Amino acid sequence: MSHQAQFLKAFFRNSGQIGAIAPSSEALAGLMTDWLDWDSLGCVVEYGPGTGVFTEAVAKRLRGETRFFAVERDPQLAAICRNRCPGVEVLEDCVSRVPDLCRERGIEQIDAIICGLPWAAFSPDLQDRLLAAMFEVLPPGGKFATFAYWQGLALPAGQRFRKFLKSNFSTVTQSPTAWRNLPPAFVYHCER
């Protein structure tokens, strides 16, 4: 079964945690990863790698001693990601446990987080809990990238999420649009 078919199957199995009907495009993966200075990163974590499109892009950009792991809650998607990116540690867990996962690996802080989670679909309470966990390990100056679909900006959840980012990060910029993504999307580049 193709990655797209497996992703769609996972979407129907658990649409509350998977916010898309198709894997992200390579163009979107580039927008998620190309803005970072890879030579300066000591540790990168990916939230919600799904089938591993962003994971693969990160793995290609890693330099020197940069540590990297991904956290995927869905066991079948984690298996697909591991198969696609065999050199990457893909953990079946919840990102709310990122501080514990870092401690277990002797990691004190994360320099950048690449996020494929459907934040706009989460309740404000869940957003706050995940952000609190993230900020335990993402220091001031730490980078965070997540994407949004254009049609979602008109919805209250999309507007709430944009305000959420701007109130929790010192800098929030928006990338160009990945028009070949299904649906078209852009990336929020955030700095704590």
Question: What CATH number did the domain enclosing 183 receive?
Answer: 3.40.50.150
Q: Give the contacts of 105 (CB within 8 A, at least 6 positions apart).
A: 67, 69
pLDDT of res. 77: 95
176 in a domain, yes or no?
yes
20 in a domain, yes or no?
no
Which residue, 180, 164, 192, is CA-closest to 28? 180
pLDDT of residue 13 exceeding 50: no
> What is the domain range of residue 82?
3-7+27-191
19 in a domain, yes or no?
no
pLDDT of res. 173: 98
pTM of the model: 0.87
pLDDT of res. 1: 53
21 in a domain, yes or no?
no
Q: Which two tokens stand for residue 41?
A: 């990163």
pLDDT of res. 18: 41
13 in a domain, yes or no?
no
Phi, psi of 111 (to 5 degrees): -85, -30
18 in a domain, yes or no?
no
The long-range contacts involving 68-73, CB below 8 angstroms and separated by at least 24 positions, are 68/43, 68/44, 69/45, 69/101, 69/105, 70/45, 70/46, 71/45, 71/46, 71/47, 71/95, 71/97, 71/98, 71/101, 72/48, 73/17, 73/48
Angstrom distance (rounded) from CA 50 to CA 10: 9
Q: What's the count of helices (H) and strands (E) in the chain, helices before strands?
A: 7, 7
How far is CA 62 from its chain centroid?
Answer: 16
pLDDT of residue 135 exceeding 70: yes
pLDDT of res. 131: 92
pLDDT in tens, 42-92: 999 999 999 999 999 999 999 989 999 999 999 999 999 999 999 999 999
pLDDT in tens, 136-187: 999 999 999 999 998 888 888 889 899 999 999 999 999 999 999 988 999 9
The total number of structural domains in the chain stands at 1
12 in a domain, yes or no?
no
Q: Which two tokens stand for residue 190?
A: 């955030």
pLDDT of res. 65: 92
pLDDT in tens, 95-119: 999 999 999 999 999 999 999 998 8
pLDDT of res. 121: 84
Q: Give the contacts of 89 (CB within 8 A, at least 6 positions apart).
A: 68, 69, 70
15 in a domain, yes or no?
no
